[in-house]
Amino acid sequence: MKKTTATKPAKKPVRKPAAAATPPAPAKVRVATMWLSGCSGCHMSFLDLDERIVELVKLVDILYSPIVDVKEIPDVDVGIVEGCVNNNEQEHELKKLRSRCKVLIALGDCAVTGNIPGLRNQFTLKDCLLRAYEQTESTKISCIPNDPVVPVLNAKARPLQEFVKVDLSIPGCPPDADTIWYALTELLAGRMPQWTEKNLRYD
Amino acid sequence: MTTKTITISPVTRIEGHAKITIHLDSRGEVDDARFHVVEFRGFEKFCEGRHFTEMPQITPRTCGICPVSHLLASSKACDAIVGHEIPRPAKLLRELMHMGQTIQSHALSFFHLSAPDLLLGFDSDPAARNIVGLIQQQPAIAIKGVRLRKFGQELIKLVAGRKIHADFPVPGGVNKVLTIAQRDEILKGLPEAFEHAKFALELLKGYHKANLADVEDFASFDSNYMGLVQPDGALELYDGKLRFCDSTGKMFHDQISPDKYLDYISEAVEPWSYMKFPFISKLGYPNGMYRVGPLARVNVCSHIATPLANDELKIWRAKGQVRASSFYYHWARLIELLYGLERAQQLLNDSEITSTDVLVPNQPTKREGVGVVEAPRGTLIHHYWVDENGRIEKANLIVATGHNNLAMNRGVQALAKKYVKAKKLQEGMLNRVEAVIRCYDPCLSCATHAVGQMPMQVELADASGTVLDQATRG
């Protein structure tokens, strides 16, 4: 795996120039990962880093993620988001993360383009809900979920950059682990990853 | 009367988007508890108009944790539309891929998601109670989990070309053969994988012994069970017929052809969740609650056709046919993990596994097709209707986690009644409630094909809806 730079020592954590004046640099880069409307395949691909996760957690603290138990988004250096924005709560969470992170990464095609969840955009939301909750052949007791406890669906499923500034997009459905590793290690080394045909080819 | 509501959001370390609310009565006792799935994507609508051959590529995007299950259920539904038996080697390869997924998904569920509770403790620091904390505190154990999952993922990659969202099974068979070198490479990794699986089983049995009272009563309740079995009643994950048992293990439907599912299963919708509530039709709603997945499969099967897993089954059944506590999901999952490894070994040693006879012509000849597999989390049903050109007219999906929806709600209620003593919300208590959900290893990503992610937050509200207290962990 030529892309691997695991053995290189971590340099400066990623931060915007404007933030350079802020007080003591954290020992580790603070990371949050978030899962919006997607299949979790990008998080699974992240776990496909396998043993490299052990290396990674020496360099970063994962402070918020579907795999950790912290429920409120803290201030972080890097926010990584899988999935597109499908409802009002996701929109809110995404904006909150954006306001609390220095670098925002759109991980995978749903975050970058809307991808499969975006297929619903060719139909009205009402028709999608009617099919799922009223018309499917197995549904015998029906209603459309509308309790205040469930989020309100947006009319269309949209990618991240329609809501917030995205600093880096990692395309793929999902991007493979080597590509995620390359992107993270480049960022940790203070460089912006450069995409080539080679590192975006996944099969 | 409900006077307070506790909301847990997001529910973490589960594979999906959800909330839990706990409703308290005027005395501060638990009145009701609900598990809400908060995402909806609409696969059943947006697949309309697509060519049926695209379905095995679109529908796995329901879930990145068990994409292979969707890929296989979808391919089987498409096979039915094609109307020909697929060649035996193609079947073997698909099942092998499925075993790879069973191994990786069960390893993920146990080591990455649940072991932090079991090994670090339910009341340990939430910030470290995760796979990373486990890597730091118990590296030797965590690495075994990482490597076992990796074995399953590598198997999938060798058989199917990539780990997540491979395009290998297609209507009529598969599009790639397994080389002898690839077969041998998988075989080479098996001994280590067996070691890790056995280690996990011993670890779990040790935990079980040390915490007997707690685990026996961990969201234990009666329910029906459903799962695929072979013609002789043996555990089956890829093919087979449906068996339904009651809470004592007595069968009431057996050898049901999966394409007749509509005669046995119905779904209800509740306004407070995007995940539907399947129930057994003849028992009605909500009495027709049933469970699927590892616990159900191990409860309903007559035996397991591989020796090591069957020995473990005998230990599991020492006290009777059926285990009801939700904790036993973990144990059942590890028995299946062992079965997955043994079955993979059998398949790899089959002389036809490297055959090149893997695909039949795939023109549509039928207007309807049902495909069913046992996904890691339970029975997965894909049902498509096509026009004369093979375009999808309608699609219906019932996913593994959906079947468990009523049961997960019941489990949360049972545990909330035991651990939530109102007034002050304690972190470890909330984590136990969440851990019930985690037993089911819910793939809310799947469930929100119609559903998505499982967040956790607790809210207390009085009867007028005024929020009295709120606890968000972190």
pLDDT digits (tens, 9 = 90+) for B237-265: 999 999 999 999 999 999 999 999 999 99
Q: What is the pLDDT of residue B455?
A: 40
Cβ distance B265 to A53 less than 8 Å, yes or no, reads no
Confidence category of residue B462, pLDDT binned at 50, 70, 90 = very low
- CA-nearest residue to B105 within chain A is A44
Chain B positions touching A142 (Cβ under 8 A) are 268-269
Which residues contact residue A58 at a Cβ distance below 8 angstroms, ignoring those fewer than 6 apart? none
Q: What is the pLDDT of residue B320?
A: 87
**Domain annotation for chain A: domains and CATH numbers:** 25-120+154-188 (3.40.50.700)
How far apart are alpha carbons B134 and B157 in whole angstroms?
Answer: 27
Cβ distance B269 to A45 less than 8 Å, yes or no, reads no
Q: What is the pLDDT of residue B437?
A: 73
Confidence category of residue B444, pLDDT binned at 50, 70, 90 = very low
Cβ distance A120 to B143 less than 8 Å, yes or no, reads no
CA dihedral sign of residues B351, B353, B355, B358: positive
- The DSSP letter of residue A161 is G
Residues B281-307: what's their mean pLDDT? 96
Q: How far is A24 from chain B (nearest CA, A)?
A: 22
Please give the share of chain A, as a percent, with pLDDT higher than 70: 85
**β-pair type (B392-398, B378-386):** antiparallel
- Name the fold adopted by B43-402: Cytochrome-c3 Hydrogenase; chain B (1.10.645)
Chosen from A122, A138, A144 to mutate, greatest number of chain B CBs within 10 A? A138
Res B424 pLDDT > 80:
no
CA dihedral sign of residues B12, B14, B16, B17: negative
Nearest to B46 among A120, A149, A173 (CB): A120
| ipTM metric | 0.86
Chain A positions touching B147 (Cβ under 8 A) are 50-51
Confidence category of residue B9, pLDDT binned at 50, 70, 90 = low
Q: How far is A167 from chain B (nearest CA, A)?
A: 24
Cβ distance A132 to B44 less than 8 Å, yes or no, reads yes
Chain B positions touching A52 (Cβ under 8 A) are none
Confidence category of residue A134, pLDDT binned at 50, 70, 90 = very high
Please write the tens of the pLDDT for every residue from A8-40: 444 444 444 444 445 555 579 999 999 999 988
- CA-nearest residue to B64 within chain A is A41
* Mean predicted lDDT score pLDDT of chain B: 86
Confidence category of residue A3, pLDDT binned at 50, 70, 90 = very low
Cβ distance A150 to B265 less than 8 Å, yes or no, reads no
- CA-nearest residue to B465 within chain A is A148
Chain B positions touching A53 (Cβ under 8 A) are 131-132, 135, 146
Nearest to B274 among A70, A72, A150 (CB): A150
Q: How far is B7 from chain A (nearest CA, A)?
A: 9
Q: What is the pLDDT of residue A12?
A: 47
- Terminal Cα-to-Cα distance of chain B (whole angstroms): 31
Candidates B101, B189, B109, B108; CA nearest to B152 is: B101
Which residues contact residue B98 at a Cβ distance below 8 angstroms, ignoring those fewer than 6 apart? B68, B69, B72, B237, B238, B373
Please write the tens of the pLDDT for every residue from B334-351: 999 999 999 999 999 999
Cβ distance B453 to A36 less than 8 Å, yes or no, reads yes
Lowest mean pLDDT among A80-89, A142-151, B410-419: B410-419
Please give the radius of gyration of chain B, using alpha carbons only, rounded to the nearest integer. Answer: 22
Count contacts between A and B (CB, < 8 Å): 239
Residues A88-97: what's their mean pLDDT? 93
Res B3 pLDDT > 60:
no
Confidence category of residue B88, pLDDT binned at 50, 70, 90 = very high
Please write the tens of the pLDDT for every residue from B23-72: 777 777 778 888 887 788 899 999 999 999 999 999 999 888 889 999 99
Cβ distance B273 to A140 less than 8 Å, yes or no, reads no
Residues A66-89: what's their mean pLDDT? 87
Chain A positions touching B153 (Cβ under 8 A) are 48
Cβ distance A149 to B272 less than 8 Å, yes or no, reads yes
What would the two tokens of residue B50 be? 């697509």
How far apart are alpha carbons A66 and B123 in whole angstroms?
Answer: 19
Chain B positions touching A129 (Cβ under 8 A) are 40, 42
Chosen from A39, A123, A141, A153 to mutate, greatest number of chain B CBs within 10 A? A39
Read off φ and ψ for residue B91, nearest 5 degrees: -65, -45
Nearest to B46 among A40, A87, A123 (CB): A123
What would the two tokens of residue B341 be? 């490894």
Cβ distance A120 to B38 less than 8 Å, yes or no, reads no
- CA-nearest residue to A146 within chain B is B271
Candidates B382, B292, B294, B289; CA nearest to B337 is: B294
Q: What is the pLDDT of residue A18?
A: 47
Q: What is the pLDDT of residue A189?
A: 93
Res B91 pLDDT > 60:
yes
Task: For chain B, give every domain's residue range.
Answer: 2-40+411-471, 43-402
